[in-house]
Structures are given as structure tokens and as C-alpha cells.
Amino acid sequence: MTSRWYRPDTITEVKVRLRMHVFIAQVLGAMERLLPSSCPHSLSLCLYGLAQLRCVPGEAWMDAWMAAATQGMGGANSRDLAGMLWALAKLRWVDQHNVASLLTTLPNTSACHQCGPLRGRFGL
């Protein structure tokens, strides 16, 4: 009886997964260098894509993303914010500090046409 581990399809699977991990590590490295100059929409899509792939970056990468996001929230709209918060939740990176730091950096002019200013809605 042959062990499941040594079947060719399983070894191929392992090789593919290893290549994917190397590729994702390279992509994360390239993304990290671009984070400080990224607009809120790009930051939102970047994190959304990682969440869709179920790729949870390391703490240092997430700290760099959070720093870029809090600095660049001036141009964010409600869709960008929603995408960021959804991705943070999906990656299980949400805590009160992260959410509060994103919301407090919103400009007073960020508003929903039905709700009014976003900062006022959250008591910030």
C-alpha cells in the first residue's frame, strides 16, 4: 500500500504551493515599497485582494499598510473605507485601535449623501 504523501499528485501540489508562497512573498515585498505613495483607493484594493486570496501578511507589512492608510485617508471615499474595513475584518486584523485610527483620519468633508459627515456618525 502506497502512502498518500508520496503520490505524484500530492508532491506536485506541494511544489505548486511552495511556488505560490514564494510568489506571494515577492509581491508583498514589492507592494510594501509602494505603500507610502499609494492613494486610498489603491490601498483599499491591495488589502481587498489579499483578503480574497486569504493571504494574511505579517505584522510588519500590516503596520506599514496601516501607516500608509492613516496618512492617505484625506482622499478616501466611503467605498474605499468600506473595502478597507471589510478586508481588515476578513484578515482578522480588526481591533478598536485600527478602526479608530482609520476613522479619525477621515476629513470632515467625507460624507454620505444620506447620513451626513462620516466622522460625526462615529462620534469622532
Taking only the tens place, the pLDDT of each residue in 28-53 is 999 999 999 999 899 999 999 999 98
pTM equals: 0.69
**Amino acid 100: pLDDT:** 74
With 90 as the cut, is the pLDDT of residue 76 above it? no
The separation between CA 115 and the C-alpha centre of its own chain, rounded to angstroms, equals: 26
**Amino acid 50: pLDDT:** 92
Q: What is the DSSP string of 11-50?
A: HHHHHHHHHHHHHHHHHHHHHHHHGGG--HHHHHHHHHHH
Domain with 10, as residue range(s), is 4-121
Count of domains observed in the chain: 1
Average pLDDT over residues 3-24: 75
**Amino acid 13: pLDDT:** 79
